[in-house]
Structure 1
């Protein structure tokens, strides 16, 4: 059963993990996300690991499409060494879909002003 969004961080963590672990999961990658994966030397399995085991710590931001929200899932992954990555996703729970908007190094993100969560270039 789909739970209406926006979700608070603890609920978002639970729902995103549930979608990521569902055998019917469908992942969609925006061009920006693919470029950031290559730039950071990460692979798709890192994204999946983060979505299955990571945590949402911040409130969601509205996404481009009305009624949709983006969440940043933070996690250390097999290829990230001692660094945490942030994976920004837009979930579509009823469709078992997680749309990956971008991926970032958390330590780089936190040093810069602004937020990739505000990027709406290619939803």
Structure 2
């Protein structure tokens, strides 16, 4: 894979992570307000960035020839996406979502540490 294409995947992946976390926070705090229409819009934008993140992540996996560290990071990232969705949907429905915050923080830290090569094997 060409270095330019890898750079495109990397930049879009890093940017999508930033916007994913940003829109997750905005969407979560919009749930406490009574503005459900705006929360629904931010949740849909968040889902769009999930797709961008997964597609660019798969492109990077191919470019790194499915290195074990990045495969594990990808699996954890998919779990993180699931945790974000569960937190938002359960909170929106009025169900208990407090138990999901601890795994969310643990998986987020692991993904960030793996992504920035702080943890490698």
Q: Same fold (TM over 0.5)?
A: no
Which protein is richer in strand relative to its size?
1
Which one has the largest radius of gyration? 2
Higher helix residue share: 2
